[in-house]
Amino acid sequence: MRIKNVLLKICSFVLVFGYFSGILTRTDAYAAEDILTITQNAGYQTTEFYKPKASIVIEAKTGQVLWEDNPDLKWNPASIAKLMSVYLVFEAIEQGKFTLETTVKATDNDQAISQIYELSNNSIVSGVDYPVQDLLYATLVQSSNVATVMLANLVTDNDEAKFIHMMNDTAKELGMTNSTFYNCSGAETGSFNGYYKPEGIDQNADNVTTARDLAILSYHLLKNYPDTVTYTSPTQITIMENTPYAEVLENHNYSLPGLAYGYEGADGLKTGSSPTGGFNYAATAKRGDTRLIEIVLGVGDWEDQEGELQRHAFGNAIFDQAFATYEYKQLLPKGDTTINKEDVILDQNFYGVIQRNTEPAFQLSTDKVTMETGLSQVSPTIKAPSVRFKYAKKLKALQNSTFFKNGKKKNALSTFFVNGLLIILGLLLAALAKLFKKDGSTQRFSPILALGVVLILMGIGLSVYTVIIGPWF
């Protein structure tokens, strides 16, 4: 009987342990859910074949990472590289080198590039003037290689190699530690049939970057040049309007509202595809006050053009998860508040990213408030949100001091002025007493010196009185 009871207890323990183990196993599996599972659960039809090689989602104002999968894998971004070229164009405009209305006269080389069938392009006619604004639309909407080359040549006055060096220098400045550029448009230089050939640059090399680095680039592009979305959001646009060279451009970002994978709030950034890079996607979307940036690299295979659509399924799915989980909002108001039982005064409103339906946890450093989120920064050069503060008790103690109160009274300054004059007059009399003292004189008492000392002591005494008691007149 005793053995039977022991066996029953063992069986019960095994059943209970197995039950909770199952729960824990399912929880761990959910926590480790990958991008393929997320996308399938979101209702998109896809398979392991199309699963991206790397991906990342960050919040656009703070640079905090909300999702990542193999973000530091080095990859050929294809036409997403055009974002770096556009960054340099906007930077040149900011520096006053030219404007959106500046025109670029197309050359014979430009026309020849536009006619290369294998490259994504728009129509360019030699001798025609094309406004910078229209070339930006052609670059970002149509993914035109020739428009990108024309803009790059404008920035450097036709020094093609200099522009590539600028791309790499800027990548380092922005904190893109795993990126190297060999061309301005994403298409390897050798495919331009000799019409675009930066001197000293490897003609057959692909640009190399990572999902993280492209997220860093997109972060700085949107932060420094928010008008970028003006050029990435149209699903269709006509350039060179009211001229014989008018052309309708079609956007390949199918996640833009109204297109095949339309996503609420999507308004950019850039797609890219190539034989070695597969299908890639850099995107941004805004809902309420929350703007996200995502990078999806290496979807499918160049031989299967379905990847062009599948990249948007994965992008939409991880956007959904990030928007559903996190939000960017005001967490603390400017002025008086209490943090960790300390009364403090904030210099400005505190905004940050927080997981929905949770309460933020704050930290006080020497003079800054930060928030504990458990989220990493996409780059060490992009600092987490913080705001300056002062301890309210110390500030109120100063405000309540007699000196501070008296400082606000109408006659306080006058009192200190008079006190100061007494001290200065006393010092002058003391100096005069020494000046008029006769050489060899044994006289110990000097009325002028005595008066000076009295005035000095009066000035000091009245100053102490003013600080402690208040103005004496």
Q: Could you give the count of Cα atoms lying within 13 Å of 3 in the half-sphere of its Cβ?
A: 0
The DSSP-derived string for 301-346 is -TT-TTHHHHHHHHHHHHHHHHHHHEEEEEEE-SEEEEETTEEEEE
For 29, residues 6+ apart whose C-beta sits below 8 A from its C-beta are none
User: Burial level of 356, CB count in 10 A (0-12/13-18/19+)?
Assistant: exposed
Gap between the Cα atoms of 124 and 147, Å rounded: 8
Gap between the Cα atoms of 195 and 382, Å rounded: 39
Both tokens assigned to 235: 């699903």
Alpha carbon 342 to its chain's center: 30
Amino acid at 68: E
Of 55, 85, 120, 143, the active-site residue reads 143
CA neighbor of 233 nearest in space, from 283, 186, 279, 272: 283
C-alpha angle with apex 140: 139 to 142, nearest 5 degrees?
70
Of 82, 218, 274, 379, the active-site residue reads 82
Does 97 qualify as catalytic in the annotation?
no
Beta-bridge partner residues of 363? 370
| CB < 8 Å & 24+ apart, contacts of 390-396 | 390/344, 390/345, 390/347, 391/342, 391/343, 391/344, 391/345, 392/336, 392/343, 392/344, 392/345, 393/343, 395/345
Amino acid at 469: I
For 19, residues 6+ apart whose C-beta sits below 8 A from its C-beta are none
Helix (H, G, I), strand (E, B) or coil at 271: strand
Query: What one-character DSSP code corresponds to residue 62?
Result: T
Does 82 qualify as catalytic in the annotation?
yes
- Beta-strand ranges (E) seen in 181-258 are 236-239, 247-250
Check whether 270 is labelled as a binding-site residue.
Answer: yes
Does 185 qualify as catalytic in the annotation?
no
Gap between the Cα atoms of 328 and 354, Å rounded: 6
Beta-bridge partner residues of 270? 282
Residues annotated as binding site for substrate?
A: 270
Residues annotated as binding site?
A: 270
Supply the residues annotated as catalytic: 79, 82, 143
